[in-house]
A and B are shown apart, each in its own frame.
Chain A
């Protein structure tokens, strides 16, 4: 049971939240304004705060800024629950110190899950802080692989990273491609450092200096924008990945479409591997080969997920044939989404402009299913 402070000026929402959280086994305390919420948070310890943004006296952004500047409350996990649903609101909330973001009207199951994740993370942070010695590698690694090029693995990786970010994780997206920075292109990243700027054995400072921040709050270890002869070396990437796992709670690797040394390092460190395929004979053939090869490369506990990505409206292979070839159904079928094409032209991935669109919804649902293996 957790002590949860609910700060919301809406008199209809407060009793509903109290009921929902009490039913989930928590101990809720209600505050009707930002001022009251701040006073309560500073006067007694809470495990978590659920905070509205639009409040008449002090808005939620200011509440978060004040809590984060107070040593006594700087680590209090905060979930923003708001009717403001625009990307700018989300970015601003994360910048002000939110750990999670949910839109009203909310689904109690999603709120429950988010609270559970944040409490678990907060507990892990506390125990890590209590232990002396080497920093813990807490970052979860997800590798997105599509050994047949053009299957939309970069789009899947960007969408997955954006989904994790929206769920309140600290996320780094790594682009391992030596054939032009596809992540940088999708996110319209300005020219900046890439993994080519890493020294051979990078320490945490060198890695931090090489990272690029997207407007959404997503942090990227970018690939060179022009094709290069040599990809990132296995040793350099191994050292960089360790630093990233200290800084971030989630590391999403958009692997190169070849099994090079860096991709092997990523696969060996992975908690989950997402193999992306399209309904086309070459891609299915390549996926079968990839799954066989992964058997000898991956970490013992890594979960492998096959995603069938319908990048075009007309699939050339029926699902039944693909299922037969793969020996079972894909774990996720991502529907064709015309909006994705427009989003690429806009330079704003759907996960940030229209998180409710087909592609982000499917990926978000998939991640919820696979993030905690049974």
Chain B
């Protein structure tokens, strides 16, 4: 059987830039691509980049570009299905519990919810397994240096190496 490849729209945020592009993903979707330990690079197509001080202003268009996965701080998807097959993205048949969280990196404060299997386990979330990114659903990311700038998406993937703080948020706290 031939492996199918399709492109999805994604927004990649680094410490200084917003990159709107298309990413060619295989059958395992974006999650499979990001967590593929055999390659540290991502190939981007039809790329437009903006500087974060003016996130809506398009600086330039690039036919092709490449990024080291380690340098991607956040990935924003407007559709949850772009993550890839349910099993890879959400942990198979396990019963999942959504937990509202606050996650901070040097440049962003992210709020949304994560899916946990039985309970909130920070060590499993931040250092367990081999996945590079943490999925935060129905999320918004506020820029620390410019708090009026907020990015939002059905999913925000946060590079686990960039996470400085993670906290479950209970009702009544904000």
CB-based contact A89/B56 at 8 Å: yes
B169 touches A91 (CB 8 A): no
12 contacts between A and B (CB under 8 A): A53-B58, A61-B58, A84-B20, A86-B55, A86-B150, A87-B152, A339-B138, A342-B100, A345-B174, A346-B142, A348-B140, A348-B150
- Please choose the segment from A67-75, A257-265, A352-360, A362-370 that sits at the chain B interface, where 4 or more of its residues have CB less than 8 A away: A352-360
Q: Which residues of A sit under 8 angstroms from B55, Cβ to Cβ?
A: 86, 88
Given contacts A54-B48, A89-B56, A103-B78, contact A353 B150 (CB under 8 A): yes
Q: How far is it, in angstroms, between the C-alpha of A357 and the C-alpha of B152 when the chains are bound? A: 11
B51 within 8 A of A: no
Residues of B within 8 A of A92 (CB): 56-57
Q: Is the CB of B150 within 8 A of A341?
A: no
The interface residues of chain B lying within 8 Å CB-to-CB of A83 are 9, 20, 78
CA distance A251 to B148 in the complex (A): 25
CB distance from B153 to the nearest CB of A (A): 7
Q: Is B132 an interface residue (CB 8 A)?
A: no
Interface positions of A (Cβ within 8 A of B): 53-56, 59, 61, 83-89, 91-93, 103-104, 215, 313, 338-339, 341-342, 344-346, 348, 352-354, 356-357
Which residues of chain A are near B46, meaning CB under 8 Å? 54
Q: Is the CB–CB distance between A354 and B138 below 8 Å?
A: yes
Name the residue among A61, A86, A344 with the largest chain B CB count within 10 angstroms. A86
| Across-interface contacts of B78 in A (CB, < 8 A) | 83, 85, 103
Q: Which residue of A lies closest to B149 (CB)?
A: A88
Given the interface contacts A339-B138, A354-B140, does A54 sit within 8 Å of B20 by beta carbon?
Answer: yes
Q: How far is the CA of A93 from the CA of B154 in the complex (A)?
A: 22
Q: Which residue of A lies closest to B112 (CB)?
A: A339
Cβ–Cβ contact A54 & B140, under 8 A: no
Q: Which 3 A-B pairs have the closest CB atoms?
A: A345-B174, A92-B56, A88-B56
Contact of B148 with A215 in the complex, beta carbons under 8 Å = yes
Nearest B residue (CB) for A347: B147
The count of residues in chain B whose C-beta lies closer than 8 Å to any C-beta of chain A is 27
8 Å CB interface, B106-153 against A = 111, 138, 140, 142, 148-153
Residues of B near A89 (CB, < 8 A) are 56
Contacts of B73 in A (CB 8 A): none
Q: Contacts A215-B148, A341-B174, A346-B111; is A353 near B140 (CB within 8 Å)?
A: yes
Q: Which residue of A lies closest to B50 (CB)?
A: A88
- List, in ascending order, chain B residues with CB within 8 A of A86's CB: 11, 55-56, 76, 150-152
Bound CA–CA A313/B170 (angstroms)? 13
Which among B11, B48, B57, B76 has the greatest number of chain A C-beta atoms within 10 A?
B48
Interface Cβ pair total, 8 Å cutoff: 71
Contact A56 B61, beta carbon cutoff 8 Å: yes
A-B contacts besides A83-B78, A103-B78, A348-B142, 12 pairs, CB < 8 Å:
A53-B58, A54-B58, A59-B58, A86-B11, A86-B76, A86-B151, A92-B56, A345-B174, A346-B150, A348-B150, A353-B140, A357-B138
B61: contacting residue among A54, A88, A341, CB under 8 A: A54
Complex alpha-carbon distance, A103 and B153, angstroms? 12
Interface hits, B84-116 → A, CB 8 Å: 100, 111
Q: Which residues of B contact A353 (CB under 8 A)?
A: 140, 150, 152
The residue of chain A having its C-beta at the shortest distance from the C-beta of B142 within the complex is: A346
Cα A338 to Cα B151 in complex, Å, equals: 19
Q: In the complex the two chains form, what is the Cα distance from A344 to B55 in whole Å?
A: 23
In Å, the complex CA distance between A301 and B89 comes to: 51
CA–CA, A59 and B58, complex, Å: 8
Alpha-carbon gap, A352 to B140, bound state (A): 11
Q: Is the CB of B61 within 8 A of A342?
A: no
- Closest chain-A Cβ to B98's Cβ sits at a distance in Å of 10
Q: Is B171 an interface residue (CB 8 A)?
A: yes
Residue on A nearest B59 in the bound complex, by CB: A59
Closest to A87 in B: B150
A87 to B18, CA, bound (A): 14
Selected contact of A346 from candidates B61, B138, B140, CB within 8 Å: B140
A362 to chain B, nearest CB (A): 15
For B151, the chain A residues whose CB sits under 8 A away are 86, 88
A-chain residues with CB within 8 Å of residue B58 when the two chains form the complex: 53-54, 59, 61
Contact of A61 among B11, B57, B138, B150 (CB under 8 A): B57
Interface centre among B148, B150, B154 (most CB of A within 10 A): B150
